Chain A
Protein backbone atom coordinates (compact mmCIF):
# COMPACT_ATOMS: atom_id res chain seq x y z
CA UNK A 1 0.00 0.00 0.00
CA UNK A 2 1.33 3.44 -0.91
CA UNK A 3 2.59 5.59 1.97
CA UNK A 4 0.31 8.38 0.83
CA UNK A 5 -2.83 6.33 1.28
CA UNK A 6 -4.36 7.46 4.59
CA UNK A 7 -4.84 4.30 6.61
CA UNK A 8 -6.90 4.57 9.78
CA UNK A 9 -3.78 4.22 11.93
CA UNK A 10 -1.98 7.00 10.07
CA UNK A 11 -5.00 9.28 10.31
CA UNK A 12 -5.08 8.72 14.07
CA UNK A 13 -1.32 9.35 14.22
CA UNK A 14 -1.79 12.61 12.33
CA UNK A 15 -4.55 13.66 14.73
CA UNK A 16 -2.48 12.81 17.81
CA UNK A 17 0.57 14.69 16.52
CA UNK A 18 -1.64 17.55 15.40
CA UNK A 19 -3.29 17.88 18.78
CA UNK A 20 0.09 18.20 20.46
CA UNK A 21 1.29 21.00 18.19
CA UNK A 22 -2.23 22.45 18.03
CA UNK A 23 -2.43 22.78 21.80
CA UNK A 24 0.48 25.23 21.61
CA UNK A 25 -1.20 27.18 18.81
CA UNK A 26 -4.36 27.20 20.91
CA UNK A 27 -2.46 28.59 23.89
CA UNK A 28 -1.04 31.44 21.81
CA UNK A 29 -4.38 32.00 20.04
CA UNK A 30 -6.16 32.29 23.38
CA UNK A 31 -3.51 34.78 24.51
CA UNK A 32 -4.04 36.97 21.44
CA UNK A 33 -7.80 36.63 21.81
CA UNK A 34 -7.73 37.69 25.48
CA UNK A 35 -5.81 40.79 24.43
CA UNK A 36 -8.08 41.52 21.50
CA UNK A 37 -11.20 41.18 23.65
CA UNK A 38 -10.05 43.60 26.32
CA UNK A 39 -7.34 45.83 24.82
CA UNK A 40 -8.46 45.70 21.17
CA UNK A 41 -4.97 45.41 19.72
CA UNK A 42 -2.38 42.82 18.73
CA UNK A 43 0.80 42.71 20.80
CA UNK A 44 3.35 41.36 18.31
CA UNK A 45 6.01 41.55 21.01
CA UNK A 46 4.42 38.43 22.50
CA UNK A 47 6.14 36.35 19.83
CA UNK A 48 9.53 37.25 21.33
CA UNK A 49 8.18 37.00 24.87
CA UNK A 50 7.20 33.41 24.11
CA UNK A 51 10.74 32.56 22.97
CA UNK A 52 12.14 34.33 26.01
CA UNK A 53 9.93 32.21 28.29
CA UNK A 54 11.37 29.05 26.74
CA UNK A 55 14.95 30.26 27.05
CA UNK A 56 14.53 31.39 30.67
CA UNK A 57 13.09 27.93 31.45
CA UNK A 58 16.15 26.40 29.78
CA UNK A 59 18.47 28.58 31.85
CA UNK A 60 16.70 27.53 35.07
CA UNK A 61 16.39 23.86 34.17
CA UNK A 62 19.20 22.81 36.55
CA UNK A 63 16.84 23.75 39.41
CA UNK A 64 14.17 21.29 38.38
CA UNK A 65 11.12 21.32 36.13
CA UNK A 66 8.84 23.31 38.44
CA UNK A 67 11.32 26.16 38.95
CA UNK A 68 12.20 26.18 35.26
CA UNK A 69 8.61 26.30 34.06
CA UNK A 70 7.44 28.79 36.68
CA UNK A 71 10.51 30.95 36.08
CA UNK A 72 9.97 31.04 32.33
CA UNK A 73 6.29 31.77 32.65
CA UNK A 74 6.73 34.46 35.31
CA UNK A 75 9.49 36.21 33.35
CA UNK A 76 7.23 36.20 30.30
CA UNK A 77 4.38 37.67 32.31
CA UNK A 78 6.53 40.48 33.70
CA UNK A 79 8.13 41.36 30.35
CA UNK A 80 4.76 41.15 28.58
CA UNK A 81 3.32 43.56 31.12
CA UNK A 82 6.27 45.89 30.58
CA UNK A 83 5.59 45.88 26.83
CA UNK A 84 1.94 46.67 27.56
CA UNK A 85 2.86 49.74 29.60
CA UNK A 86 5.63 50.97 27.32
CA UNK A 87 4.46 50.11 23.82
CA UNK A 88 0.72 49.48 23.95
CA UNK A 89 -1.04 51.64 26.52
CA UNK A 90 0.44 55.03 25.54
CA UNK A 91 -0.72 54.54 21.94
CA UNK A 92 -4.14 52.94 22.39
CA UNK A 93 -6.13 56.11 21.85
CA UNK A 94 -4.03 57.19 18.89
CA UNK A 95 -3.63 55.53 15.50
CA UNK A 96 -4.66 51.84 15.62
CA UNK A 97 -1.43 50.69 13.97
CA UNK A 98 0.82 52.43 16.50
CA UNK A 99 0.54 49.91 19.36
CA UNK A 100 0.99 47.03 16.91
CA UNK A 101 4.17 48.50 15.43
CA UNK A 102 5.44 49.68 18.82
CA UNK A 103 4.91 46.22 20.32
CA UNK A 104 6.77 44.67 17.39
CA UNK A 105 9.68 47.02 18.11
CA UNK A 106 9.58 46.23 21.82
CA UNK A 107 9.59 42.52 20.97
CA UNK A 108 12.70 42.95 18.86
CA UNK A 109 14.37 44.66 21.82
CA UNK A 110 13.43 41.68 23.98
CA UNK A 111 14.96 39.35 21.40
CA UNK A 112 18.11 41.48 21.31
CA UNK A 113 18.40 41.28 25.07
CA UNK A 114 17.86 37.51 24.99
CA UNK A 115 20.60 37.10 22.35
CA UNK A 116 22.96 39.30 24.38
CA UNK A 117 22.36 37.29 27.54
CA UNK A 118 22.05 33.75 26.18
CA UNK A 119 23.55 33.82 22.70
CA UNK A 120 21.96 33.20 19.32
CA UNK A 121 22.59 29.46 19.04
CA UNK A 122 19.99 26.81 19.58
CA UNK A 123 20.30 25.05 22.92
CA UNK A 124 19.27 21.56 23.85
CA UNK A 125 16.44 21.66 26.35
CA UNK A 126 17.07 19.28 29.28
CA UNK A 127 14.32 16.76 29.96
CA UNK A 128 11.88 18.62 32.16
CA UNK A 129 9.10 16.07 31.73
CA UNK A 130 9.00 12.29 31.18
CA UNK A 131 10.23 11.16 27.78
CA UNK A 132 9.67 8.00 25.83
CA UNK A 133 6.91 6.76 23.60
CA UNK A 134 3.79 4.67 24.02
CA UNK A 135 2.65 2.49 21.17
CA UNK A 136 -1.04 1.73 20.89
CA UNK A 137 -2.25 -0.30 17.89
CA UNK A 138 0.43 1.15 15.68
CA UNK A 139 -0.06 4.74 16.87
CA UNK A 140 2.98 6.24 18.57
CA UNK A 141 2.33 8.70 21.37
CA UNK A 142 5.20 10.74 22.80
CA UNK A 143 4.96 11.14 26.56
CA UNK A 144 6.39 14.64 26.25
CA UNK A 145 3.67 15.48 23.79
CA UNK A 146 0.98 14.20 26.14
CA UNK A 147 2.33 16.35 28.97
CA UNK A 148 2.45 19.39 26.67
CA UNK A 149 -1.09 18.71 25.47
CA UNK A 150 -2.45 18.23 28.99
CA UNK A 151 -0.70 21.30 30.44
CA UNK A 152 -1.67 23.56 27.54
CA UNK A 153 -5.28 22.39 27.47
CA UNK A 154 -5.57 22.58 31.25
CA UNK A 155 -4.33 26.18 31.17
CA UNK A 156 -6.76 27.12 28.42
CA UNK A 157 -9.72 25.30 29.97
CA UNK A 158 -9.09 26.84 33.39
CA UNK A 159 -8.96 30.22 31.63
CA UNK A 160 -12.24 29.51 29.87
CA UNK A 161 -13.83 28.43 33.15
CA UNK A 162 -12.64 31.58 34.91
CA UNK A 163 -14.01 33.84 32.19
CA UNK A 164 -17.35 32.02 32.04
CA UNK A 165 -18.07 31.35 35.70
CA UNK A 166 -16.38 33.83 37.98
CA UNK A 167 -16.73 37.45 39.01
CA UNK A 168 -13.36 38.24 37.43
CA UNK A 169 -14.56 36.56 34.26
CA UNK A 170 -17.74 38.62 34.24
CA UNK A 171 -15.66 41.77 34.62
CA UNK A 172 -13.51 40.63 31.68
CA UNK A 173 -16.46 39.76 29.45
CA UNK A 174 -18.44 42.87 30.33
CA UNK A 175 -15.39 45.05 29.63
CA UNK A 176 -14.74 43.31 26.35
CA UNK A 177 -18.31 43.77 25.14
CA UNK A 178 -18.78 47.31 26.38
CA UNK A 179 -16.14 49.01 28.50
CA UNK A 180 -18.34 52.06 29.17
CA UNK A 181 -21.18 50.03 30.66
CA UNK A 182 -18.78 47.82 32.60
CA UNK A 183 -16.98 50.89 33.99
CA UNK A 184 -20.24 52.59 34.92
CA UNK A 185 -21.23 49.49 36.86
CA UNK A 186 -18.14 49.25 38.98
CA UNK A 187 -15.70 47.29 36.85
CA UNK A 188 -12.20 48.76 36.90
CA UNK A 189 -11.70 48.41 33.17
CA UNK A 190 -8.08 49.55 33.31
CA UNK A 191 -7.30 46.80 35.78
CA UNK A 192 -9.03 44.31 33.47
CA UNK A 193 -6.82 45.45 30.58
CA UNK A 194 -3.65 45.13 32.66
CA UNK A 195 -4.75 41.72 33.96
CA UNK A 196 -5.46 40.60 30.41
CA UNK A 197 -2.04 41.78 29.24
CA UNK A 198 -0.41 39.78 32.03
CA UNK A 199 -2.52 36.67 31.41
CA UNK A 200 -1.76 36.80 27.68
CA UNK A 201 1.98 37.12 28.33
CA UNK A 202 1.88 34.22 30.80
CA UNK A 203 0.05 32.09 28.22
CA UNK A 204 2.58 32.76 25.46
CA UNK A 205 5.41 32.25 27.96
CA UNK A 206 3.97 28.85 28.82
CA UNK A 207 3.64 28.11 25.10
CA UNK A 208 7.34 28.97 24.69
CA UNK A 209 8.37 26.67 27.54
CA UNK A 210 6.20 23.82 26.25
CA UNK A 211 7.43 24.35 22.68
CA UNK A 212 10.98 23.99 23.97
CA UNK A 213 10.02 20.85 25.85
CA UNK A 214 8.27 19.39 22.80
CA UNK A 215 11.06 20.25 20.34
CA UNK A 216 13.84 19.42 22.80
CA UNK A 217 15.59 22.70 22.04
CA UNK A 218 15.21 26.47 22.43
CA UNK A 219 16.50 29.42 20.43
CA UNK A 220 15.73 33.17 20.23
CA UNK A 221 13.71 32.82 17.02
CA UNK A 222 11.43 30.04 18.18
CA UNK A 223 8.53 32.40 18.98
CA UNK A 224 7.69 33.16 15.37
CA UNK A 225 6.41 29.77 14.29
CA UNK A 226 4.01 29.06 17.15
CA UNK A 227 3.25 32.75 17.48
CA UNK A 228 2.19 33.29 13.90
CA UNK A 229 0.21 30.05 13.84
CA UNK A 230 -1.43 31.16 17.06
CA UNK A 231 -2.29 34.47 15.41
CA UNK A 232 -3.76 32.55 12.47
CA UNK A 233 -5.81 30.44 14.89
CA UNK A 234 -7.01 33.54 16.72
CA UNK A 235 -8.32 35.01 13.48
CA UNK A 236 -9.78 31.67 12.38
CA UNK A 237 -11.61 31.21 15.65
CA UNK A 238 -12.98 34.74 15.60
CA UNK A 239 -10.85 37.47 17.17
CA UNK A 240 -11.60 37.74 20.87
CA UNK A 241 -13.55 34.48 20.96
CA UNK A 242 -11.71 32.28 23.47
CA UNK A 243 -13.43 28.92 22.75
CA UNK A 244 -12.99 29.74 19.05
CA UNK A 245 -9.27 30.27 19.59
CA UNK A 246 -8.96 26.92 21.35
CA UNK A 247 -10.81 25.02 18.64
CA UNK A 248 -9.07 26.81 15.78
CA UNK A 249 -5.65 26.19 17.37
CA UNK A 250 -6.30 22.47 17.56
CA UNK A 251 -7.76 22.47 14.04
CA UNK A 252 -4.70 24.20 12.58
CA UNK A 253 -2.44 21.73 14.36
CA UNK A 254 -4.33 18.72 13.03
CA UNK A 255 -4.59 20.06 9.47
CA UNK A 256 -0.88 20.81 9.41
CA UNK A 257 -0.07 17.40 10.76
CA UNK A 258 -2.36 15.74 8.19
CA UNK A 259 -0.88 17.77 5.35
CA UNK A 260 2.63 16.91 6.50
CA UNK A 261 1.84 13.23 6.74
CA UNK A 262 -0.26 12.71 3.63
CA UNK A 263 0.93 15.38 1.21
CA UNK A 264 4.29 16.92 2.03
CA UNK A 265 6.02 18.37 5.04
CA UNK A 266 6.75 21.44 2.96
CA UNK A 267 3.03 22.12 2.71
CA UNK A 268 2.44 22.41 6.47
CA UNK A 269 2.62 26.20 6.50
CA UNK A 270 0.73 26.52 3.25
CA UNK A 271 -2.20 24.68 4.81
CA UNK A 272 -2.61 26.98 7.82
CA UNK A 273 -2.10 30.24 5.95
CA UNK A 274 -4.20 28.96 3.04
CA UNK A 275 -7.01 28.10 5.44
CA UNK A 276 -6.73 31.56 6.97
CA UNK A 277 -6.96 33.15 3.52
CA UNK A 278 -9.99 31.03 2.65
CA UNK A 279 -11.83 31.76 5.86
CA UNK A 280 -11.06 35.48 5.69
CA UNK A 281 -12.56 35.58 2.18
CA UNK A 282 -15.62 33.44 2.95
CA UNK A 283 -16.27 34.43 6.59
CA UNK A 284 -14.09 37.36 7.66
CA UNK A 285 -15.39 37.27 11.25
CA UNK A 286 -13.82 33.81 11.71
CA UNK A 287 -15.27 30.32 12.06
CA UNK A 288 -16.98 31.27 15.30
CA UNK A 289 -18.07 34.81 16.02
CA UNK A 290 -15.64 37.70 16.34
CA UNK A 291 -16.17 39.84 19.43
Chain B
Protein backbone atom coordinates (compact mmCIF):
# COMPACT_ATOMS: atom_id res chain seq x y z
CA UNK B 1 0.00 0.00 0.00
CA UNK B 2 1.27 3.47 -0.84
CA UNK B 3 2.52 5.38 2.18
CA UNK B 4 0.83 8.77 2.59
CA UNK B 5 1.78 11.33 5.23
CA UNK B 6 -0.98 12.86 7.36
CA UNK B 7 0.34 16.36 6.68
CA UNK B 8 2.32 17.35 3.63
CA UNK B 9 3.59 20.89 3.18
CA UNK B 10 5.30 22.06 0.01
CA UNK B 11 6.70 25.45 -1.06
CA UNK B 12 5.01 27.26 1.82
CA UNK B 13 5.70 31.00 2.06
CA UNK B 14 4.07 33.60 4.25
CA UNK B 15 4.96 36.96 5.70
CA UNK B 16 4.00 40.20 7.35
CA UNK B 17 3.85 42.98 4.78
CA UNK B 18 7.04 42.75 2.77
CA UNK B 19 8.89 40.73 5.44
CA UNK B 20 8.99 37.03 4.66
CA UNK B 21 8.46 34.87 7.76
CA UNK B 22 8.24 31.52 5.95
CA UNK B 23 10.30 30.91 2.86
CA UNK B 24 9.63 27.87 0.69
CA UNK B 25 8.99 25.56 3.63
CA UNK B 26 8.47 21.89 2.89
CA UNK B 27 8.04 18.95 5.24
CA UNK B 28 5.65 16.16 6.08
CA UNK B 29 4.28 14.53 9.20
CA UNK B 30 3.49 10.85 9.24
CA UNK B 31 0.65 9.35 11.20
CA UNK B 32 1.64 8.48 14.77
CA UNK B 33 4.86 10.45 14.84
CA UNK B 34 5.96 13.39 16.94
CA UNK B 35 7.77 15.80 14.69
CA UNK B 36 9.79 18.39 16.56
CA UNK B 37 10.61 21.75 15.02
CA UNK B 38 13.26 23.68 16.87
CA UNK B 39 14.58 27.10 16.14
CA UNK B 40 15.51 30.39 17.72
CA UNK B 41 13.13 33.29 18.37
CA UNK B 42 11.89 34.85 15.14
CA UNK B 43 12.66 31.75 13.08
CA UNK B 44 9.06 31.59 11.88
CA UNK B 45 7.92 28.62 13.99
CA UNK B 46 4.76 30.20 15.37
CA UNK B 47 3.94 31.72 11.99
CA UNK B 48 4.20 28.23 10.54
CA UNK B 49 1.70 26.93 13.12
CA UNK B 50 -0.71 29.81 12.44
CA UNK B 51 -0.46 29.28 8.68
CA UNK B 52 -1.08 25.54 9.08
CA UNK B 53 -4.21 26.31 11.14
CA UNK B 54 -5.38 28.91 8.61
CA UNK B 55 -5.01 31.85 10.99
CA UNK B 56 -2.39 33.55 8.85
CA UNK B 57 -2.60 33.75 5.10
CA UNK B 58 0.03 31.98 3.05
CA UNK B 59 1.54 33.69 0.01
CA UNK B 60 2.43 30.49 -1.80
CA UNK B 61 2.60 26.76 -1.36
CA UNK B 62 0.32 23.87 -0.64
CA UNK B 63 -0.87 22.17 2.55
CA UNK B 64 -2.32 18.70 2.17
CA UNK B 65 -3.96 17.30 5.31
CA UNK B 66 -5.48 13.82 5.46
CA UNK B 67 -5.51 13.76 1.67
CA UNK B 68 -7.30 17.09 1.32
CA UNK B 69 -5.80 20.32 0.03
CA UNK B 70 -6.56 22.73 2.88
CA UNK B 71 -4.45 25.64 1.59
CA UNK B 72 -7.50 27.89 1.16
CA UNK B 73 -9.61 26.38 3.92
CA UNK B 74 -10.85 28.48 6.85
CA UNK B 75 -9.61 27.64 10.37
CA UNK B 76 -12.90 26.22 11.64
CA UNK B 77 -13.04 23.79 8.72
CA UNK B 78 -9.43 22.69 9.30
CA UNK B 79 -10.35 22.02 12.91
CA UNK B 80 -13.40 20.03 11.89
CA UNK B 81 -11.21 18.05 9.48
CA UNK B 82 -9.02 17.02 12.40
CA UNK B 83 -6.40 19.64 13.23
CA UNK B 84 -6.11 21.24 16.66
CA UNK B 85 -3.73 23.98 17.69
CA UNK B 86 -2.43 24.49 21.22
CA UNK B 87 -1.47 28.13 20.88
CA UNK B 88 1.78 29.72 21.94
CA UNK B 89 1.04 31.31 25.34
CA UNK B 90 -1.74 28.74 25.91
CA UNK B 91 -4.49 30.39 23.89
CA UNK B 92 -7.23 29.95 26.40
CA UNK B 93 -9.98 32.57 26.51
CA UNK B 94 -9.39 34.11 29.92
CA UNK B 95 -12.84 35.66 30.20
CA UNK B 96 -14.68 32.38 29.67
CA UNK B 97 -14.93 29.74 32.37
CA UNK B 98 -12.82 26.59 32.28
CA UNK B 99 -15.91 24.66 31.22
CA UNK B 100 -16.72 27.09 28.41
CA UNK B 101 -13.14 26.88 27.15
CA UNK B 102 -13.42 23.10 27.09
CA UNK B 103 -16.83 23.35 25.44
CA UNK B 104 -15.23 24.98 22.40
CA UNK B 105 -14.08 21.45 21.55
CA UNK B 106 -17.75 20.56 21.12
CA UNK B 107 -17.87 22.52 17.88
CA UNK B 108 -16.37 19.45 16.24
CA UNK B 109 -18.68 16.58 15.36
CA UNK B 110 -16.31 14.11 17.03
CA UNK B 111 -16.93 15.31 20.59
CA UNK B 112 -18.71 13.04 23.06
CA UNK B 113 -19.22 13.28 26.85
CA UNK B 114 -16.68 10.53 27.48
CA UNK B 115 -13.95 12.88 26.27
CA UNK B 116 -14.73 15.28 29.11
CA UNK B 117 -14.28 12.42 31.60
CA UNK B 118 -10.93 11.61 29.99
CA UNK B 119 -9.90 15.26 30.45
CA UNK B 120 -10.82 15.06 34.14
CA UNK B 121 -8.91 11.79 34.55
CA UNK B 122 -5.83 13.30 32.96
CA UNK B 123 -6.14 16.73 34.60
CA UNK B 124 -8.20 16.46 37.84
CA UNK B 125 -7.62 20.16 38.54
CA UNK B 126 -9.92 21.03 35.61
CA UNK B 127 -12.85 19.26 37.27
CA UNK B 128 -12.32 21.26 40.45
CA UNK B 129 -12.04 24.58 38.62
CA UNK B 130 -14.74 24.00 36.01
CA UNK B 131 -16.84 27.05 36.87
CA UNK B 132 -13.92 29.39 37.45
CA UNK B 133 -12.84 32.02 34.98
CA UNK B 134 -9.97 30.53 32.98
CA UNK B 135 -7.93 33.67 33.51
CA UNK B 136 -7.67 32.90 37.22
CA UNK B 137 -5.82 29.61 36.63
CA UNK B 138 -2.06 29.40 37.04
CA UNK B 139 0.09 29.20 33.90
CA UNK B 140 0.48 25.44 34.27
CA UNK B 141 -3.24 24.92 34.79
CA UNK B 142 -3.96 27.05 31.73
CA UNK B 143 -1.61 24.88 29.70
CA UNK B 144 -3.44 21.77 30.94
CA UNK B 145 -6.71 23.38 29.90
CA UNK B 146 -5.35 24.21 26.46
CA UNK B 147 -4.07 20.67 25.92
CA UNK B 148 -7.26 19.10 27.30
CA UNK B 149 -9.35 21.22 24.94
CA UNK B 150 -7.25 20.17 21.97
CA UNK B 151 -7.48 16.50 22.99
CA UNK B 152 -11.27 16.73 23.36
CA UNK B 153 -11.52 17.60 19.68
CA UNK B 154 -10.12 14.12 18.94
CA UNK B 155 -7.81 15.75 16.45
CA UNK B 156 -5.89 13.60 14.02
CA UNK B 157 -3.02 16.07 14.27
CA UNK B 158 -2.08 18.15 17.30
CA UNK B 159 -0.13 21.33 16.57
CA UNK B 160 1.57 22.33 19.82
CA UNK B 161 3.32 25.69 19.85
CA UNK B 162 5.97 26.36 22.54
CA UNK B 163 4.17 24.59 25.41
CA UNK B 164 6.95 25.45 27.87
CA UNK B 165 6.76 29.19 27.29
CA UNK B 166 6.50 31.13 30.55
CA UNK B 167 6.07 28.07 32.76
CA UNK B 168 8.01 27.11 35.89
CA UNK B 169 10.60 24.32 35.36
CA UNK B 170 8.53 21.82 37.36
CA UNK B 171 5.48 22.46 35.21
CA UNK B 172 7.57 22.29 32.05
CA UNK B 173 8.71 18.81 33.06
CA UNK B 174 5.09 17.80 33.65
CA UNK B 175 4.04 19.14 30.25
CA UNK B 176 6.86 17.34 28.47
CA UNK B 177 6.05 14.11 30.31
CA UNK B 178 2.49 14.51 29.13
CA UNK B 179 3.64 15.02 25.53
CA UNK B 180 5.67 11.84 25.88
CA UNK B 181 2.55 10.00 27.04
CA UNK B 182 0.54 11.35 24.13
CA UNK B 183 3.25 10.29 21.69
CA UNK B 184 3.23 6.80 23.21
CA UNK B 185 -0.54 6.67 22.83
CA UNK B 186 0.07 7.09 19.11
CA UNK B 187 -1.10 10.70 18.76
CA UNK B 188 0.32 12.53 15.77
CA UNK B 189 1.99 15.69 17.01
CA UNK B 190 3.80 18.58 15.40
CA UNK B 191 5.67 20.26 18.23
CA UNK B 192 7.41 23.61 18.08
CA UNK B 193 9.73 24.20 21.00
CA UNK B 194 12.81 26.20 21.87
CA UNK B 195 13.84 23.98 24.79
CA UNK B 196 15.06 21.30 22.45
CA UNK B 197 17.22 19.45 24.97
CA UNK B 198 14.21 18.46 27.07
CA UNK B 199 12.06 17.20 24.24
CA UNK B 200 14.40 15.77 21.64
CA UNK B 201 14.14 12.34 23.25
CA UNK B 202 10.35 12.41 22.74
CA UNK B 203 10.49 13.14 19.05
CA UNK B 204 10.41 10.67 16.23
CA UNK B 205 12.07 13.18 13.94
CA UNK B 206 13.24 16.74 14.26
CA UNK B 207 13.76 19.69 12.00
CA UNK B 208 15.56 22.96 12.36
CA UNK B 209 14.01 26.24 11.44
CA UNK B 210 15.94 29.44 10.95
CA UNK B 211 14.98 32.67 9.21
CA UNK B 212 11.81 31.16 7.83
CA UNK B 213 13.52 28.17 6.29
CA UNK B 214 13.54 24.54 7.21
CA UNK B 215 17.13 23.39 7.26
CA UNK B 216 18.23 19.88 6.36
CA UNK B 217 17.52 17.67 9.34
CA UNK B 218 18.63 14.21 10.22
CA UNK B 219 16.17 11.40 9.56
CA UNK B 220 16.07 10.54 13.23
CA UNK B 221 17.33 11.92 16.49
CA UNK B 222 20.26 9.55 16.57
CA UNK B 223 22.75 12.38 16.49
CA UNK B 224 24.21 12.49 19.91
CA UNK B 225 27.29 14.44 19.02
CA UNK B 226 25.53 17.77 19.08
CA UNK B 227 22.25 18.53 20.78
CA UNK B 228 19.84 20.99 19.24
CA UNK B 229 20.53 23.44 22.02
CA UNK B 230 24.22 23.34 21.24
CA UNK B 231 23.42 23.66 17.57
CA UNK B 232 21.29 26.71 18.26
CA UNK B 233 23.83 28.19 20.60
CA UNK B 234 21.56 27.88 23.65
CA UNK B 235 24.25 26.10 25.64
Residues of A bordering B, CB below 8 Å: 167, 170-171, 173-174, 177-178, 180-190, 291
Contacts and interface: CB of A to CB of B under 8 A. Distances in A.
Nearest to A190: B74
A187 B74 CA distance: 10
Nearest to B152: A185
A184 B85 CA distance: 7
Given A170-B100, A170-B103, A177 B93 contact: yes
B55 A183 contact: yes
Contact of B79 (A167, A184, A291): A184
Interface residues of B, number: 26
A134 to B, nearest CB: 43
Contact of A182 (B85, B104, B105, B108): B104
Contacts of B65: none
Closest 10 A-B residue pairs measured CB to CB?
A: A186-B107, A183-B75, A185-B104, A186-B79, A177-B93, A188-B76, A186-B76, A184-B85, A184-B75, A177-B95
Contacts of A187: 76, 104, 107
B104 A180 contact: no
Interface in B51-69: 53-55
A290 to B, nearest CB: 12
Main secondary structure of the interface of A (DSSP, over half): helix
Contacts of A189: 76
A180 B75 CA distance: 8
A177 B96 contact: yes
Contact of A174 (B74, B80, B93): B93
Contact of A173 (B92, B96, B105): B96
7 contacts: A173-B96, A173-B100, A174-B104, A180-B91, A184-B53, A184-B79, A188-B74
A92 B160 CA distance: 30
A33 to B, nearest CB: 15
Given A170-B100, A170-B104, A186-B153, A181 B91 contact: yes
A171, A174, A181: most-surrounded residue (chain B CB, <10 A): A181
A185 B76 CA distance: 6
Contacts of B84: 184-185
Contacts of A170: 96, 100, 103-104
B106 interface: yes
Contact of A186 (B55, B87, B104): B104
